[in-house]
Structure 1
């Protein structure tokens, strides 16, 4: 079918959801809008699917969700033992239609006689990962679009280990989803009936309490003899899911001076007090900083809507607060944890980071005698490595990525802002006792290991045309690779699409032992690098930069050279 035929199929469907039918009628005079809604199936990728809410095969709605669940059910039938009785755990965030999509998931699974556990009210993504493991479920589903704009929602799938699907499993699920021929006619059961029959069970405090018990195990404060804390904290959940678990977690660790940004503690699908509910963007801290100044807080932290990302700001010595980058916070937390980890655990321990995460983590790991493992971008690859450690003598110590994702305890298999918030506060308390802020601690690490500076730029290109432009940029730079960034020559080019690393001086080609992905990385002189990749979850192409030198000024100058070269090239490629 072409998109017009698909549109007609929906428009003529007599049982079409009333709200979606009304929206379709409002779109009828905009051919471009209709084409974008129907020109393709909403992509179900390795991390699930994410899209704009509304009618159409390229939108998030009850029918595209049903299609995804139908594919998942068909996958479970042939691949996971005891899947019907073990069931599927489901959680959801504060977005429009999140709870409705969770219930639709249960209604489709019930048609396959598969039990569903749904949280009674919105809960974080990391709790969903934990719930899969705690309940022994066959799979998990999280309804979230993370920090995307309000018009988005999404559907993330987790395997029985509680991790996002590794590539082989994802491809198998994707094939089952794509095999569903008509999303409008997927069989569903009645909600009331499946609640009565036990095929839908609402999950309450049991999973929360089990998670909170595990949360205690990542604490090192008892070893320091610290039970009560004088740390002054400001917390904002940015209208999302983190409030309940974060507040209980802080209380049980002895943090009692917690000031919540009340206006942002209320779940709100519009995220009405921020431009974007993303702690990576400094504007998200505006209200937290205001409260921090009023309360003289030592540390401010914010979580994104599904509470898998954490941002932190600390006193800057100039009467305000500085937001730490994901690389800085990750390095600080890892250093803090290693200071409290016995040598015998460090010997077999592993730090896991992504290929676009700062090399400073590797330098700190080396200092403590810890090996670093690199993965592709995406926490699913870190979760997959943790699973592999169960069959080796390797010990997971810490995992992180530059985009504010961290994991300390492997009872969760995805990034966990609740865990990270606990460690960030403990760490701030530790350095406060030494008479230092986190910025002081960071400066010491720079002096010991070098002045690492990183930057990430992104270009948003929406819709069908935008997706084509992103592919054109990648194709052009592959065909005509950049040989010099500012004054720095390219030493090697890593193409993860072909899994090849080409050394420029010798033309020698080496294999990259990682899964294939549409990513280019340029290794430069002076411990510098540049990486280019299309986002897997947003209509963006992202550029990452990393440098290291003996002074902050030199590193800043190097970053400026790298960004100038790449931005100029991208602009000329589309």
Structure 2
């Protein structure tokens, strides 16, 4: 599949990988170039060559791209093992840690549209690689020259690419889940649940885990098949793609609906009334359950795009809050430090260090895992014998309502100098916002305006896509709508002024 003219792809690692348009910049040649940069970054020189697991999801030709990456790694000091069947990114992370591999590779574009594919790199600890390693991969790629004809045509060393059966690891993963979740509640309940995998492999893996743990829940599975076009949807568990889940929850009279993204690391929730719960609400419900009902303590780690509801819970229970830039790699770095009760980001990724008092910290993957988080959410509803809607009503009755909104504004090209962009935007901010006093302006990642009542609005360029994101969280939806429009307008004026 090699072409005569190789060019290095424009690679920027987002949370833990690179993505591009299939056939445009995401090609077999470019996958090989990125895999070579990854191989050189880790510089493993062991004998015999260490095994490296390579997974793939339901993306178009993802299995073929996985074999391409394996062929490149096999020419270095590695023995790549390509999974025989599609997997989720968290399962690949689990396998990487279980095998004590130096790293793992996952072919996926996560929640992005069907025209995209991508390559993620997972650390030996079973989670997103730190920013320092991502930067080193980018540097190695920029410094390398495209391989010559001899290297591209050289045969893969005999016996250096293996295939890895997935079922044994799925069973180990089911045991891992049972060691951190209270499956006795699942065995005692006949409650209805709907799980929408949005055509990713997460539904099949969750189904096996529930069966292995003898769950009695009545689970209806949606979009639980391979479709590289994702039924015309984006495989992202956000409200605009969950119409079928909303209908199914009401039809089945389910306690909740769970949605996973294309590679199973993000979670979306629909309550028993068919209402979509925002990540702010889901994160806060999980936090409240862990600290109030389970008695856990520790830091609350949240991306700058999460907000006041979780901060109020933390303050009520005397827990410190650590705010990090957007991207789960920053949350993962804090999880690895320990002492964290819950970490999360606005895109539906949540991470834990333990889920019960007395359990060993660090035994949970420092990784966002939609299946793990979704089952913990179900455990919460079963333990409290309340629906998701009832739990949210109780939470907001104590800490106030939350109406969160995010708008993505397409831009022609990435913003070259984000610091200058933020500085100029800050210089034109008003001292009052929707009649409320601006209490604080944060520039940790983009520009976040915090008002005196805790409401906030944020704008930041996406780290992985040509988008400008605008976020807001206010008690009233109308104020959130007005705020995202206003901040996007100000940001647009700055971009036009500076010709970004």
Q: Determine if the TM-score, normalized by the shorter chain, exceeds 0.5.
A: yes
Partner of 1:206: 168
Partner of 1:240: 200
Q: Deviations over 1:182-220 (max 9, x none)?
A: 1565946888x65x5244342422222221111012213
Q: For 1:146 and 1:299, locate their aligned partners in 2 and report how far apart those are by CA, in whole Å.
A: 23
User: Would you say the 8 A contact 2:51–2:81 is kept in 1?
Assistant: yes
Correspondence 1:272-287 to 2 at 5 A: 272=231, 274-280=232-238, 282-287=239-244
User: Would you say the 8 A contact 2:304–2:326 is kept in 1?
Assistant: yes
- Superposed displacement of residue 546, structure 1: 2.5
Partner of 1:570: 491
Q: Deviations over 1:8-55 (max 9, x none)?
A: xxxxxxx844xxx8xx9xxxxxxxxxxxx97x8322325321111114
User: Would you say the 8 A contact 1:351–1:371 is kept in 2?
Assistant: yes
1:90 pairs with 2:47:
no
- Superposed displacement of residue 226, structure 1: 6.5
TM-score (norm 2): 0.88
Q: For 2:22 and 2:407, locate their aligned partners in 1 and report how far apart those are by CA, in whole Å.
A: 27
Correspondence 1:158-237 to 2 at 5 A: 158-182=122-146, 187=151, 197-220=159-182, 222=184, 227-237=187-197
Q: For 1:557 and 1:260, locate their aligned partners in 2 and report how far apart those are by CA, in whole Å.
A: 34
Note closer, same or farther for the CA distance 1:457–1:328 as it changes in structure 2 (3 Å cut): same
Note closer, same or farther for the CA distance 1:298–1:190 as it changes in structure 2 (3 Å cut): farther
Q: For 1:217 and 1:422, locate their aligned partners in 2 and report how far apart those are by CA, in whole Å.
A: 13
Q: Note the aligned Cα RMSD (angstroms).
A: 2.8
User: Would you say the 8 A contact 1:66–1:186 is kept in 2?
Assistant: no
Note closer, same or farther for the CA distance 1:291–1:536 as it changes in structure 2 (3 Å cut): same
1:256 pairs with 2:217:
yes
User: Would you say the 8 A contact 2:17–2:120 is kept in 1?
Assistant: yes
Q: For 1:90 and 1:308, locate their aligned partners in 2 and report how far apart those are by CA, in whole Å.
A: 17
Partner of 1:504: none
Partner of 2:10: 42
Task: State the secondary structure of the residue aligned to 1:521.
Answer: strand
Partner of 1:65: 31
Partner of 1:138: 102
- Superposed displacement of residue 253, structure 1: 5.6
- Superposed displacement of residue 141, structure 1: 1.2
User: Would you say the 8 A contact 2:202–2:260 is kept in 1?
Assistant: yes
Partner of 1:425: 378
Gap runs ≥5 in structure 1: 1-14, 25-36, 497-516
- Superposed displacement of residue 90, structure 1: 1.5
Correspondence 1:499-510 to 2 at 5 A: none
Partner of 1:457: 407
Partner of 2:324: 375
1:306 pairs with 2:306:
no
Partner of 1:397: 341
TM-score (norm 1): 0.78
Partner of 1:27: none
Note closer, same or farther for the CA distance 1:205–1:137 as it changes in structure 2 (3 Å cut): same
1:543 to 470, 475, 480: 470
User: Would you say the 8 A contact 1:93–1:241 is kept in 2?
Assistant: yes
Note closer, same or farther for the CA distance 1:199–1:520 as it changes in structure 2 (3 Å cut): same
Note closer, same or farther for the CA distance 1:162–1:226 as it changes in structure 2 (3 Å cut): closer
Q: For 2:422 and 2:47, locate their aligned partners in 1 and report how far apart those are by CA, in whole Å.
A: 41
Partner of 2:396: 446
Correspondence 1:258-407 to 2 at 5 A: 258-261=219-222, 264-272=223-231, 274-280=232-238, 282-316=239-273, 321-342=274-295, 346-347=296-297, 349-389=298-338, 394=339, 396-407=340-351
User: Would you say the 8 A contact 1:216–1:253 is kept in 2?
Assistant: no
Computing the radius of gyration from Cα coordinates, the structure with the larger value is 1
Partner of 2:79: 115
- Superposed displacement of residue 112, structure 1: 0.8
Q: Which has the higher contact order (CA 8 A, sep 6+)?
A: 2
Partner of 1:477: 425
Task: State the secondary structure of the residue aligned to 1:157.
Answer: strand
Note closer, same or farther for the CA distance 1:183–1:456 as it changes in structure 2 (3 Å cut): farther
